[in-house]
């Protein structure tokens, strides 16, 4: 069982938040609660924290401490259902599989009370819901994204609409504990609802439950598209982005340098622009610039509102006296989302037509519940600079994200809590499970859990790092490491691969945003991944490629782009069985009156 002094845990995850999107990481967006957290005694901002380059893969690693290709989310399920090569392969089930044990299961076994409110994205079927993976209470958004106001258009033909791309991205399908939520409140807004539900779960605990430490998981679905936020919050940012993304990028970079979060001489990766996407800001028509700036205003408002809701939960814990012994962690699940779906071949025209038919994207309506916009690659690269690219790429821009932790203050009189500090120690999301278990006084079961074989943890506890940090002069933080030079981490999402060992990293970026070949970088000296050293360091490159092949075989990576048939998002692969495609059932789940006759035996209601 957990130690008597075991801390509570509050884990907060933002969805598609860029590296510099919070004030304490250089943003102009108002995030006073996250900033206050980062400034507290004993708090740490991590500038070298890495995740997978997409949301559910990262969330699976956060829950298990092992690689997402093992845990069941080798790729986003939305990708796998469109790929012949990935379907049916081990580790690509599209849900948190039985080869892993989840952190809330272990904490619950160890005497914790476990709760979540927010985005799950780790399985749609009832047997894969949060309550089956260790949560006592849960209010969960099941798909990867949805309308933040719960709005759904009235389709002409609900049986075949919406279009395949939108069927996984529109309906706000939620489950509370073991029941589908039939009707969301009329005033539903995702961030408000998740924070309020978390406060409710905390306040509704029985005396027995209050006697236990708690694990509270608060994964927001903001600021993932569709970009939507309360109008009064959007108004705060009116006119701030009229100079465009390149100007914002320069401002953010300068603030990062001024704050000491990146080196002053860092070489940022150039902005990558592809055919079909907007080019230079000044060359765009005025009305296009106006709508683009408005989309960014709404994005900022989503981050602002999320922060306000984080404050609501923290304030509750302070009022109950539980905050002091709560380990708070705030992170993003991947780099900023830079996809421009309207520019994709074939799919782009279909997406544009569907939005034009069912949504109102007029300037004054952008951000409302019946609008549907994203902000595109150039705004995303303003948020990930100085890094290269963004979500879906295993570059630093896709995998390096903001992390703030605030451990409880040390009990020892000799310990010296430092004011909010910064570390550049390399670490990954897989470290969280072993860290929390050590702090709770619990052990991971290793390779067996309740009679089934499971994958061991691949991360490393931050316990020794945190202990060393609290006992040293704050100025010594730069010399403290978490992982040694020989620690190897692999990455792969949507055919973009990478492998890191010490300061060295090989990266594969598919065309058209990359050269469709492996490159080699020293990411300590060149975090922007601007100088390919493959030809200058041939022996090292060969060694790294051997490690990649070992990693690929070990965890079950299917391959990088070009090693399997091209995948077209929004189009199901021909071999996919409709009777085993839960992402095609989202519009029917929990709605028995809408389920087509031929699917009634498989769709959970």
* Distances in whole angstroms, Cα of residue 49 to Cα of each of 379, 494, 572: 22, 21, 34
Number of CB atoms found within 10 A of residue 267's CB: 14
| Cα–Cα distance measured from residue 460 to residue 492, given in angstroms and rounded to the nearest whole number | 20
**Token pair for 142:** 């099941």
**Token pair for 240:** 């701030």
Angle of helix 463-471 relative to helix 432-440, nearest 10 degrees, comes to 70
* Distances in whole angstroms, Cα of residue 234 to Cα of each of 52, 286, 304, 305: 30, 20, 9, 10
Angle of helix 32-39 relative to helix 286-320, nearest 10 degrees, comes to 50
Beta strands 421-423 and 44-50 are parallel
Question: 3-state class of 146 per DSSP?
Answer: coil
Q: Are 530 and 271 in contact (CB under 8 A)?
A: no
The torsion defined by the Cα of 537, 546, 69 and 348, in degrees rounded to 10, comes to 50
| Cα–Cα distance measured from residue 605 to residue 599, given in angstroms and rounded to the nearest whole number | 11
| Cα–Cα distance measured from residue 572 to residue 81, given in angstroms and rounded to the nearest whole number | 6
**Token pair for 110:** 């160890």
Residue positions annotated with a catalytic role: 55, 121
| Cα–Cα distance measured from residue 270 to residue 190, given in angstroms and rounded to the nearest whole number | 35
Largest Cα–Cα distance in the chain?
69
| Cα–Cα distance measured from residue 180 to residue 604, given in angstroms and rounded to the nearest whole number | 9
| Backbone Cα Rg of the chain | 23
Q: What is the DSSP secondary-structure string of 380-441?
A: HHHHHTTSS--TTSSSHHHHEEEEEEEPPPPS-TT--PPSSEEE---EEGGGHHHHHHHHHT
Exposure string of 24-41, with b = 16+ CB inside 10 Å and e = fewer, is: bbbbebbbebbbbbbebe
**Residue 266 zone, left/alpha/beta (φ > 0; ψ -120 to 50; rest):** beta
526 has which bridge partners? none
405 has which bridge partners? 44, 329
H runs (alpha helix) in 154-210: 190-203, 207-210
**Token pair for 376:** 């595109």
User: Which 8-state DSSP code applies to residue 556?
Assistant: T
Q: Are 49 and 331 in contact (CB under 8 A)?
A: yes
Q: Are 426 and 459 in contact (CB under 8 A)?
A: no
Torsions phi, psi for 45 (to 5 deg): -100, 130
* Distances in whole angstroms, Cα of residue 459 to Cα of each of 62, 217, 288, 585: 10, 20, 45, 35
Residue 370 CB contacts under 8 Å (≥ 6 apart), including other chains: 151, 153, 359, 360
């Amino acid at each position: 069982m957990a130690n008597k002094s075991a801390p509570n845990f509050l884990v907060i995850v933002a969805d598609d938040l860029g590296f510099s999107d919070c004030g304490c990481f250089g943003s102009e967006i108002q995030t006073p609660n996250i900033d206050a957290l980062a400034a507290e005694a004993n708090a740490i901002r991590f500038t070298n924290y890495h995740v997978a380059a997409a949301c559910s893969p990262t969330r699976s690693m956060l829950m298990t401490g092992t690689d997402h290709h093992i845990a069941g989310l080798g790729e986003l399920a939305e990708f796998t259902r469109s790929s012949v090569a990935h379907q049916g392969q081990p580790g690509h089930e599209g849900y948190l599989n039985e080869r892993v044990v989840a952190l809330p299961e272990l904490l619950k076994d160890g005497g914790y009370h476990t709760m979540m409110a927010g985005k799950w994205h780790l399985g749609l079927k009832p047997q894969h819901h949060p309550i089956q993976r260790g949560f006592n209470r849960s209010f969960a958004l099941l798909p990867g994204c949805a309308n933040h106001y719960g709005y759904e258009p009235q389709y002409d033909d609900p049986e075949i609409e919406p279009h395949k791309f939108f069927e996984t991205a529109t309906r706000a399908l939620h489950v509370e504990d073991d029941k589908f939520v039939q009707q969301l409140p009329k005033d539903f807004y995702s961030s408000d609802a998740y924070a309020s539900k978390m406060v409710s779960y905390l306040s509704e605990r029985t005396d027995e439950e209050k006697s236990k430490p708690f694990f509270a998981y608060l994964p927001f679905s903001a600021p993932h598209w569709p970009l939507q936020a309360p109008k009064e919050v959007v108004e705060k940012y009116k006119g701030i982005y009229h100079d465009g993304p390149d100007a914002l990028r320069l401002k953010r970079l300068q603030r990062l340098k001024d704050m000491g979060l990146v080196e002053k001489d860092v070489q940022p990766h150039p902005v990558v622009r592809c055919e079909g996407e907007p080019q230079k800001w000044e060359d765009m028509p005025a009305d296009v610039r106006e709508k683009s700036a408005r989309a960014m205003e709404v994005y900022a408002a989503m981050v602002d509102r999320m922060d306000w809701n984080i404050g609501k939960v923290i304030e509750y814990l302070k009022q109950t006296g539980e905050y002091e012994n709560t380990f708070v962690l705030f992170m993003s699940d991947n780099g900023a989302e830079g996809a421009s779906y309207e520019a994709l071949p074939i799919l782009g025209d279909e997406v544009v037509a569907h939005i034009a038919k069912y949504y109102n994207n007029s300037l004054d309506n952008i951000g409302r519940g019946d609008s549907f916009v994203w902000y595109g690659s150039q705004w995303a690269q303003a948020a990930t600079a100085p890094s290269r690219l963004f979500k879906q790429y295993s570059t630093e821009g896709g995998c390096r994200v903001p992390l703030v932790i605030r451990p409880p203050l040390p009990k020892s009189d000799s310990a010296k809590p430092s004011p909010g500090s910064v570390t550049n120690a390399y670490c990954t999301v897989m470290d969280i499970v072993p860290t929390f278990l050590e702090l709770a006084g619990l052990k991971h079961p290793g390779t067996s859990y309740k009679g089934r074989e499971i994958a061991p943890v691949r991360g490393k506890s931050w316990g020794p790092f945190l202990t060393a940090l609290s006992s040293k002069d704050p100025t010594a933080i730069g010399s403290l490491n978490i992982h040694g030079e020989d620690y190897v981490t692999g990455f792969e999402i949507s055919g973009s691969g990478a492998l890191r060992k010490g300061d060295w990293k090989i990266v594969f970026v598919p065309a058209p945003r990359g050269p469709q070949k492996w490159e080699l970088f020293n990411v300590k000296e060149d975090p922007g991944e601007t100088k390919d050293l493959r030809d200058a360091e041939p022996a090292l490159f060969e060694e790294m490629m051997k490690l990649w092949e070992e990693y690929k075989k070990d965890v079950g990576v299917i391959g990088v782009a070009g090693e399997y048939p091209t995948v077209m998002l929004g189009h199901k692969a021909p071999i996919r069985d409709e009777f085993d495609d839960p992402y095609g059932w989202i519009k029917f789940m929990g709605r028995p009156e809408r389920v087509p006759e031929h699917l009634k035996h498989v769709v959970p209601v």
